[in-house]
Each structure stands twice: as structure tokens, then as C-alpha cells.
Amino acid sequence: MDTFVVQGGNPLVGTIRVSGAKNSALPCMAAAILTEEPITLENIPQVRDISTERRLLQSMGAEIELGEGAALGRTTICCRNLSDPVAKYEIVKTMRASSLVLGPLIARTGMARVAMPGGCAIGGRPIDLHLKGLEQMGATITQDHGYIEARVNPQVGRLHGAELVFDKITVTGTEDLLMAAVLADGETVMENCAREPEVVDLAALLVTMGANIEGAGTATIRVSGVNKLRGARYRINPDRIEAGTFLIAGAITGGDLIVSHCNTSHLGAVITKLREAGARVDILGPDTVRVRNHGKLIAADISTEEYPGFPTDMQAQYMALATQAEGTSLVRENIFENRFMHVQELVRMGAGIKVDGKTATVIGPARLSAAAVMCSDLRASASLVLAALVAEGETIIDRVYHMDRGYEQIDEKLRGVGAQIQRLGNLFPPRAA
Ligand code: EPU
């Protein structure tokens, strides 16, 4: 198990490059199931969730070719033979997004068997809305031995279009049912859809494969099903959460950072909040943004919302910034019920934070001092790294495998702009029994 050792105090200065979006790459890889022809995806980030999804697809019979050298980031997936349309628990338990194969598997093969995802550090995370939609499209769902099985009536052979209204906005739920609808018989109208850029990315790939989709990026998506989809080549959009994390790194360290290869149009809520908190943010072009902070930060409240609101995936990182801002910041988490796991660790570093239900009250500025801390989930880890960058002394961050699930070479990237961060092997070996 790797550990980061971070010496705080250096302002980050220079240019830092954003990788492809993990949360776009995951559904786009699952979309390869929908066709017998190869799908080539560019700008795939080299992170652990992606290698987990590769293993998942391979276990079902997919052939996968990875680019090397300059083509690192290119992945070609061919699902000509799907010999085993089953997402096994061994893989699903390590990555909840595995449920994204449900829709495409049943659409392509008429049946899917997917292990039920368990809870995770940030909440219960059910997939009832995915299942409800599939049932409305004609699937029969059964559950046994921890698995969900979805089947279409063999006499009918395929799903049919339906009018679906999501009771709650769900990102992977929208993506899963979109992938089911593109091969369904007739028209599907989906209401109250997630409007996240990752949904738009997936829809753009599906259209390149021959799907008929209108309205991706709005609350209503209309799909007219086709009989067959073809191979395609598609470039994944930049990761807006990684970009946002870097913007906060620049602001919290009092640095001057240029964040390149991002999509600035996806960063509106985060940029607005950083400006409100006193950082100077200049958009230099459609894919480049500069953040500077030479004065003091001031408290500003956030409330997480679905896109285009402030992303829940940036809440933990923003909280690290709020610890350095003068005044009281209220951080309200509306999407997940248990996404404050980073609070206790930040408090151990000296932050003044109190949690009451959905709201954390952060009183700043706090002098953070280095401590041994532990990552609990992906974005919580990012929050601890950000806090460590301004803490006095050497912070030891354990369980950075959480971070490796979704941030590509974060230590190398941050070192490149002046952070003192080292990756070590396990500093806390398990005690002998
Ligand atoms: N929900 C239900 N029933 C469902 C589906 C969702 O009640 O069938 C609830 C969830 O419990 C939650 C809310 O709806 O309270 C929103 O969950 P959503 O389904 O949108 O989350 P997700 O699709 O599982 C994706 C991202 C998450 C991100 C959320 C919210 C991927 C692979 N994951 O998850 O990313 O936090 O949307 O934006 O796209 C991360 O990258 O760190 C991460 C956790």
C-alpha cells in the first residue's frame, strides 16, 4: 500500500496538465459492449478504475489493445464475442461504476448478470433507478445470491422504447439507460436526466457509433432505437474534477498555476466560487485557465448540486480551501448522505470544522500542522493532499490507492509545479499477529 509524504509550504507555480475524464471514460468503455466492431478511445486516463473496467470487459470476452508511448491513453475494445455477460462480484466490489455494463449487456445480448454493488464510503449508492428503467423497457429483473439478473423475453428478443422519468437525478443511471435505449425497439424519452458533461461525452460517442440521440446535456433525452451500432473512434473530454482540484491547489498554496488541457466551459461553478473566495482566476482560452492568489482567502459557502451546480466531487477539496479562508464557510452536501469522511482527518491537522447533518461549518483560517492521516475515498484523498500542501511540516497520507483510482500520477504532476510530495511503499506494515 503506497503512502504520500508531503512537505507543506511551497506555492505551486507553473503549468499543470489535465488528463481525460475517468467518469467519461468508464461509460464510454462500457458502450463498446453495444457493437461487434472495435471502439477506439483516446485520452483515457491511466488510473485504477480504468484498469478495473478493462478487467471487467475482458472477463466477459472483450479483446482490448492498449496504445504505448505517444499513443498511451489510446484503448481499443472489441466485443465481437461476449462469451460471458456476467459482471462478477470480485470486480464489482472494487468499483461501483461496474453497474454501467448492465444496460449495454442486456441491449446487446438480451441478458445481463451483474453483482449488486455494496455500500461505499460515501453512502448507500443504490441502483434501483437503473433497474426500474430497464423494467419499463421490458426487462425482467430477478435477484439472487447477490446478483441482479436482467433478461428480455426471448420471444421478443430486445428491449422496447419507453417513457422514463427519473425520480432522482442520477449520472450513471442516465448513462446506463441511454445505452440500453440506443438498441431498443422504438423511441425512448428520458425525463429528469443528469446534465453532466460525462453524459454528453457518452452520447457523442454513441452518435458516432450510429445512435439517434437528441437532448443530451438537457433534462430530456430522446432516443430513437436502431438495430445495430458500428465501430468508432472517440476522444474523451478532459477531467473537470481533476482540473478543479488543481485550481484549488493553486489558490490554497498562494501560487500562480496554469491549468492546461482542460475544458474551461465545464468549470463554471468552481471558478465562480474560487473568485468569491478571493482567488484571481483568468480564463486564457477554451482549454487553459490561470489561478493566482497572493492575498488572503475569504470564506464563501458552497452547496453541492447536480451539474451545472457545484459538484459533489469537488466538495472535499473545497473544504480544504475553506480551512484557509477568513471567516465561516458553510459546506452543504446534498448529493450523498455520508460524504464528510475527510472532516475528521482535516480536524486532526488542526482545521476548525463541525458537522451537523448535511452541513459542515468551517471556521478559518486555521494553522494546519502535519499529521499522519488516512484516505477514505477518492475525493477525500485529494482534500488531504491539498491540506498537506499548506500544513506546517511533513504530512504522511496513508491508503493513497483511493487516490490512484481516479487521479493520474497526481504526485508527479504536483511535483512538476513545485510541490514536495513523495510516494513511498507502505509506511505502516501490518503488525505481525
Ligand atoms: N441514487 C439512487 N438510486 C439510483 C441511483 C442513484 O437513489 O438508482 C442516488 C444516489 O444514492 C445519490 C444520488 O442518487 O444520492 C446521485 O447518485 P448518482 O447515481 O448520480 O451517482 P453515480 O452515478 O453513482 C457518479 C460519479 C460519482 C459522482 C456522482 C454524482 C461515475 C462513475 N461516478 O456516480 O463520482 O460523485 O455521479 O455526481 O460517474 C467520483 O468520481 O469520485 C465519484 C464518486
**Can you give the pLDDT at residue 125?**
76
> In whole angstroms, what is the distance from residue 361 CA to residue 372 CA?
23
Confidence of residue 264 (pLDDT cuts 50, 70, 90): very high
Centre of ligand 1 from the C-alpha of residue 307, in Å: 12
> pLDDT tens across 17-69, in order?
999 999 999 999 999 999 999 999 999 999 999 999 999 999 999 999 999 88
**Can you give the pLDDT at residue 96?**
83
Q: Which atom of ligand 1 is nearest to the CA of 128?
A: 8
For the segment 181-191, the average pLDDT, to the nearest whole number, is 98
For the segment 196-210, the average pLDDT, to the nearest whole number, is 98
**Can you give the pLDDT at residue 341?**
95
Pocket perturbation via mutation, ligand 1, pick of 44, 122, 168 by most ligand atoms within 8 A of CB = 168
Centre of ligand 1 from the C-alpha of residue 166, in Å: 13
Q: Annotated active-site positions, please?
A: 120
From start to end of 299-342, where are the E strands? 302-303, 325-332
Q: In what order do the strands lie in the sheet with 139-144?
A: 86-87, 111-115, 147-152, 139-144
For the segment 258-276, the average pLDDT, to the nearest whole number, is 98
Q: How far is CA 77 from the centre of its chain?
A: 21
**Can you give the pLDDT at residue 289?**
98
The pTM of the whole model exceeds 0.85: yes
Q: Which atom of ligand 1 is nearest to the CA of 377?
A: 42
> pLDDT tens across 115-137, in order?
987 666 766 678 999 999 999 99
> pLDDT tens across 346-390, in order?
999 999 999 999 999 999 999 999 999 999 999 999 999 999 999
Q: What is the mean pLDDT of the chain?
A: 95
**CB under 6 Å to ligand 1: residues?**
23, 26, 97, 123-130, 168, 170-173, 198, 312-313, 335-336, 378-379, 406
Q: Which atom of ligand 1 is nearest to the CA of 100?
A: 32
**Can you give the pLDDT at residue 123?**
67
**Can you give the pLDDT at residue 433?**
41
Residue 80: φ, ψ to 5°: -60, -50
Cα 83 to Cα 33, 60, 310: the distances in Å are 12, 6, 42
Q: Which atom of ligand 1 is nearest to the CA of 122?
A: 44
> In whole angstroms, what is the distance from residue 226 CA to residue 368 CA?
57
Centre of ligand 1 from the C-alpha of residue 103, in Å: 16
pLDDT at 432 exceeding the cut of 60 = no
Confidence of residue 307 (pLDDT cuts 50, 70, 90): very high
> In whole angstroms, what is the distance from residue 87 CA to residue 176 CA?
14
Centre of ligand 1 from the C-alpha of residue 336, in Å: 8
Pocket perturbation via mutation, ligand 1, pick of 195, 333, 335 by most ligand atoms within 8 A of CB = 335
